[in-house]
Amino acid sequence: MDIERIVSVSEFNRLVSDYLEQGLGSVVVQGEVSGFRVNKERLVYFELKDERARCLCFALTHELDQPLEDGMEVKVTGVPKLFQGSGGFHLRVQAVELVGAGALQKAFEKLKKKLEAEGLFDARGKVPLPRFPESIGIITSPTAAAYTDILRRLHERWGGLSIILAPVAVQGAGAPRAIAGAIQYFNEAHPIDVIILTRGGGSMEDLQAFNSEPLARAVFASKIPIIAGVGHERDVTLVDFVADVRASTPTNAAELVVPHRREVGRQLDQMLQNALGTIERDARTRAFSLQQALMRAWHAIGHRLHVVDGLLARFPYAFERVAYAYHASQERLVQLTLRLRALSPMATLTRGYSITRIQGKILRDATVVSAGDILETELAKGAINSKIM
């Protein structure tokens, strides 16, 4: 800047701010949080201090990966600036990392309690892993030993898999948002069957990316099931609680994602044996039932045959009785017929008698006729009509 040039206060503040921003760029400053406050749930203000100085810092609430409070030791990544109006120096925060096991553990417990109260750990919200996935997404560093361990174990256990790596940083200030972006990428742009989120072991500081609130919420929001294989079995992160399945190690994550082909073969053999056994038992049961039914039918038929045999044995005697009765009836019928014939009018006529009728009625009294009446006389053979004179 020209020393003889005269500038306004506001322009001076702008020039100094530009110089700081462009000359220094992003810086990392470590100190203790003091005077932490949130303005209208959007802006976060706090001071970063050591034994001899203080620095004002501000950020947007959604840019903080960790819950902060006074007394925490942190590393702040940010850009130095000057407020144009007041000329006050400040640090525009880009990322915050906690320092020290005590601060990390305190922030871990605070955020864990918050997320648990919101239901992010609820088992009812977990998405089950597919039994036989065809496509698997892995979110990790491409240079991590965990990545090669997972690939080797997946190929040992199952073949023909489509494996897509989303390379991300798994440590440092930008890691949480990078990992959350990879989860979003798989959900929106490249759908797969299951996601393995993994990295190797390390200190609590090393694993801090997996204890961040934005990443925990990204895992919870995923429609694709996520299995977390972060660190060793003793390492516990917030992602472990939010993920659909937690694996003790990266290798264990691969073992939980796909079955072993030999295990599946044994299961299929066992299923086949069980099916054959069921069929055999069912066939034996049905054969026994059929045998019982045949025996019952045979006994029933035998009983009826015995009844028939008894009837046949009694048939000759019954037949003789029926025949005797028949002949007796025939004889009786003949006798009755002869008597009937002897008593019939025709038999009487054949003996010389006749029947006289007047107007169709048999004439029994001669006094009832008058001159001019027509009489009909019936003989054994023929009839004679006559008129009374």
Mean pLDDT of all residues in 160-164: 92
Residue 322 belongs to some domain of the structure: yes
| Greater pLDDT, 303 or 193 | 193
- The CATH number of the domain holding residue 23 is 2.40.50.140
Backbone angles phi, psi at 366, to 5 degrees: -70, -15
Q: Are residues 60 and 166 in the same domain?
A: no
Mean pLDDT of all residues in 47-75: 85
Q: Are residues 251 and 311 in the same domain?
A: no
Q: Are residues 350 and 332 in the same domain?
A: no
Summarised one tens digit per residue, pLDDT across range 110-151 is 899 999 999 999 998 899 999 999 999 999 999 989 999 999
Q: Are residues 321 and 357 in the same domain?
A: no
Q: Enumerate residues 6+ apart whose C-beta is below 8 A from 178.
A: 168, 169
Q: Are residues 323 and 366 in the same domain?
A: no
Q: Are residues 92 and 52 in the same domain?
A: yes
Rounded to 10 degrees, the C-alpha dihedral 269/273/276/281 comes to -160
Residue 289 belongs to some domain of the structure: yes
Residue 366 belongs to some domain of the structure: yes
Residue 229 belongs to some domain of the structure: yes
- Reported as a pLDDT band with limits 50, 70 and 90, residue 346 is low
Q: Are residues 217 and 250 in the same domain?
A: yes
Query: Which stretch of 84-93, 337-346, 366-375 has the lowest confidence by average pLDDT?
Result: 337-346
Q: Domain of 70?
A: 9-99
Q: How many separate domains does the chain show?
A: 4
| Greater pLDDT, 157 or 172 | 157
Summarised one tens digit per residue, pLDDT across range 207-233 is 888 998 999 999 999 999 999 999 888
**Model confidence, pTM:** 0.58
Residue 312 belongs to some domain of the structure: yes
Residue 80 belongs to some domain of the structure: yes
Q: Enumerate residues 6+ apart whose C-beta is below 8 A from 173.
A: 65, 75, 77, 94, 95, 96, 97
- The CATH number of the domain holding residue 245 is 3.40.50.960
Q: Are residues 236 and 297 in the same domain?
A: no
**Angle at the Cα of 17 from the Cα atoms of 14 and 21, rounded to 5 degrees:** 140
Mean pLDDT of all residues in 20-39: 86
pLDDT at 202: 84
Query: Which stretch of 78-87, 182-191, 325-334 has the lowest confidence by average pLDDT?
Result: 325-334
- Reported as a pLDDT band with limits 50, 70 and 90, residue 345 is low
Residue 128 belongs to some domain of the structure: no
pLDDT at 344: 65
Is the per-residue pLDDT at 188 higher than 80? Answer: yes
Q: Are 63 and 174 in contact (CB under 8 A)?
A: no
Residue 336 belongs to some domain of the structure: yes
Summarised one tens digit per residue, pLDDT across range 294-344 is 788 777 776 666 666 666 666 666 667 766 677 777 787 777 777 766 666
Q: Are residues 159 and 233 in the same domain?
A: yes
CA separation for the pair 277, 280 (Å, rounded) = 5
